[in-house]
Structure 1
Amino acid sequence: MNDLESLSERITATKYLLANELELLESGYNPITNQQFIEETLNPDIPTENTPFNMALDLALKSIDVEKHTKEDLTSVSGFIKAEIKEQADSGNNDSLFLEMVNPVCGTVENTLDYIESKIIEANLPHNIFKTIEKTKKGNNQTGLNAEIAAMVHMFQNKGYFKSGFTFKDLFRSFGQYTNNQAGKDYDFVFLYGIQL
């Protein structure tokens, strides 16, 4: 915690770390063996409703049996679709991109977001990061807000609430745009673990 600048950031990060440890233990994580109990293993070559769209496109192209020219056409169209998704992400229109990153719980993405938000509120943090938080007079995020968002993304990413294939920075950036709480630069989570994510 010593690398964090303010007491509120240290408190926020510590609360998330403690909550994360409890959640991991309750979900079947064994810290001695460093293994997670998983009820079922999915075949990564078969897309499901949790497969990110770009990966599903690649899997479909890989498995489709069509003439060579048709496959070239489909590959070309797929490239245009991926380029459009990237352009939307880069331009800040990430509402739908962030929702695409969320694993549905009990059938819907909304259930997942409601659950995560309820845990944020239950943790009694200074901000409800699912709401747009007013910036300071200097135009910066409120103290500790980036740490709260980063800790939430890290914890729920580890628990599988976000689809695989997205990096911590992808999730952090698109969640900030989804809630209009963007950080001025990519947030570095090194301060918690001393490793680059």
Structure 2
Amino acid sequence: MQSPHRDRCNIACLALCLAALILIVPVSAQDAVFTVYENGTGYSAVIGIVDAEEYRFTEPGLLGEAVPIQARNISLTDGSGDVVLSADEESRITFPRGDYLLFYEGTLSGNSFAAVFSDRHNITVFLPEGYDVRNPLLGYVSQGGKTTVVDGGLMITWEKTRYADIRYYDETREVILYAFGTIWIMLMIILLFGYYAMRVSTKE
């Protein structure tokens, strides 16, 4: 599924900002920026690559290990233009050693996103309006993640980490949770009232 036009505009802006950061200001760790699509079923990634000649597309497995994934719409640039790359494996690309910006798209399922790297990265995940992670009963942000409200949604950031993980939810799930909680509270009040009334009548 292709991302909406609005998503692609946002990604282009993020790419320009990250390119300026990497090419103008020296950084101590690679940067990785992920933008979740408005429909929540995929994402676009902009990865800063420093002094490397290959990149592997992975996600965390059940034990936190790196599991290969299939990426699509892959492109690589060094600031002067696109770079020719080779894909000798489904989840691995190679290229001349150097510093680059890598762009690709991935698929999400189960309202969750996770990334794992072999070395430390500054990771940023953008969630569009309509999704949230801040209710601990519905959402989750892995250790070190900081959530900030920004124009158009939420931004979750980690500094110099190899792993990032979030579970997000939409407004409908939050409404259902509150409705379910309200029903249980009402039932508890009714049961407590009945128990109290029974105790009073027994004493009489």
TM-score tier, shorter chain, comes to: under 0.3
Higher helix share: 1
Rg (Cα) greater in structure: 2
Higher relative contact order (CA 8 A, sep 6+): 1
TM-score w.r.t. the length of structure 1 is 0.22
